[in-house]
Every structure is written in C-alpha cells, then in structure tokens.
Amino acid sequence: MKNSINRALNWLWEQHFPMLCLLCEQVLASTSPDHLCQYCRLALPFSVRACSRCAIPLLPGADPTDEIRLCQEPPLICGQCLTKPLADRAIVPLIHRGSAAHLIHRLKFNQGEPEGRALAHILLTHIRLECPNRLPELLIPVPMAYWPAVKRGFNQSRLLAQYLGRELDLPVAPTLLKRLPGPAQRLLSRTERSRMASGNFRWRSELKKNALRGKHVVVVDDVMTTGATVRQIIKLLRLHGAQRVDVWCATRTPSLYQ
Ligand SMILES: [Zn+2]
Ligand SMILES: [Zn+2]
C-alpha cells in the first residue's frame, strides 16, 4: 500500500516537474542518477588514458597494444610519478574542460547540488569499475578555510565525499584536517599554488597523533589542478600513520591547460 502511494506520488511529481538533463535541459525519459541524457553523457570529456598515481591525462601513443596495457597491471605511471608519486591510486574520471568544467562551475558557484550528485555518480561508477575489491576505510574531503566556507555556504568536496560515503557505506571525516586562510587557489599561478599549498593544512590538535595508523584512506576533491593541495594533505595523512592514501576526484586539469 505504502509503495503504491509512493509510486503514485512520484508519477504525479514527474508529470509536473519532469527531470531535465543538466546540460541540454532536454526532458529525461526516465529518472537517471546522473541527471544527464544519453547524448550529453557520451559527450563528456572522459579521461581514458591517465597516470594511475596522479591522474594526469597522458597523450595517446601510437603503440597498438595501448588498449591492452590499460587493462593490465601494473597500471600506467607518468614520468613525474616514477620518482615522486602523488598517491597510491588516483581515480579521476573526467578531464576538466567543456561540459565537465561547466558542471564543476555550477557545483562550486551556484551551490549546484544536482551537478554535485551527477559528478559524484560518475566518480562512483569509475570507483566500482576500477577498485571493486579494494575499498578504503575512510573518506577525507579536502577542507575549506573557515570564512570561504561560510561565504560559499557549503564545501563541494564534502558534498562529493558524503554521496560516495552513503553509496559505498564508508565513513566520512570532514573535520579531521583544518585549512588555514589564504587566497583562492583559482586566483594563483601554477607556481604560486604549489608554494601556497605547503603548510596550508593542519591536523586538528584534539585528535590522536596516530589516529590513522595502518589505515587505507582516500582524499576526495572536486578538481585537481597541479596536485599540490592533494600532495600536502597526503603528506600530513602519512605523517599521522596512514598506510595507503588514494585520491578520488571528479575532474583533472591536463598540464596543457594549467
Ligand atoms: Zn543532455
Ligand atoms: Zn603521475
């Protein structure tokens, strides 16, 4: 009885407020968790060949065995990560341009919760595909400094982490780290960003120093540009005992666009 009432209410809701594609505003035929029509979903700039440690998109090579290599272990690693790897594993499904950059912009500056859910769902699909048996023990969203968080009203990385935590049944620790105030990252050059990121985060003093001893944790963010922010956080998490640190992020800026 309760189910039929719910179905009837859903039907009525969809008649009056049909779900629209977030990108082309076409009415969606059925409810879709990413709020995208099949055409816009196919046109998203997916990152098909990237470094497994920092997710930097790699240029397609002329090697005919490329497709096979993508599915093989060990995964692809870029030149920088051969000597200075960013994370143990980086999962970033989209390149930060075109429609993906538009979704991020709406999430960040228009408090776009549907856009956040869409990006989190795309990320979730890739996590399930790429590491079905190696889920972490804790998700840590990149924190915002106090006043920017108050001004914006929400933290987009936290929104992504909470969606992923719910779907994968994993705990989220949004207050493990503290971010010190500083200029907005998007206003800085690549070099300034690398310099700023060092020393920008603090471990909350009320927590035990070795709270993460032996744990497999994941840093969750919306956009990765230089990777400097994430690198600083990873360093801090390892200092406090984390054994394995992965990165899950919605989009990655290719070095060409930095
Ligand atoms: Zn569409
Ligand atoms: Zn790399």
pLDDT tens figures, 87-116: 999 999 999 999 999 999 999 887 778 899
**Which domains are assigned to the chain?**
44-257 (3.40.50.2020)
Contact predicate 183/196, CB 8 Å: yes
From the CA of 132, how far away is ligand 1's center (Å)?
A: 29
Q: Is the pLDDT of residue 134 over 50?
A: yes
From the CA of 111, how far away is ligand 1's center (Å)?
A: 20
Q: Which amino acid is at 105?
A: H
Provide the pLDDT for residue 19. Answer: 81
Using 50, 70 and 90 to split pLDDT, how confident is the model at 51? very high
Report the Cα 253 to chain-centroid distance in Å. Answer: 12
Q: Is the pLDDT of residue 186 over 70?
A: no
Cβ-based neighbours of 27, under 8 Å, separated by 6 or more: 18, 19, 20, 21
Q: What is the mean pLDDT of the chain?
A: 82
Name the token pair of 237: 């998490």
Contact predicate 218/254, CB 8 Å: no
User: Which ligand is closest to the CA of 42, given by its number?
Assistant: 1
From the CA of 43, how far away is ligand 1's center (Å)?
A: 9
From the CA of 248, how far away is ligand 2's center (Å)?
A: 14
Between CA 104 and CA 222 the distance in angstroms is: 7
Q: Is the pLDDT of residue 67 over 50?
A: no
Name the token pair of 140: 């840590």
From the CA of 54, how far away is ligand 2's center (Å)?
A: 4
Least confident of 10-19, 47-56, 134-143, 249-258: 10-19
Residue 183 or 237, more confident: 237
Provide the pLDDT for residue 34. Answer: 85
User: Which ligand is closest to the CA of 85, given by its number?
Assistant: 2
User: Which ligand is closest to the CA of 227, given by its number?
Assistant: 2
Q: Is the overall model pTM greater than 0.85, yes or no? A: no
User: Which ligand is closest to the CA of 87, given by its number?
Assistant: 2
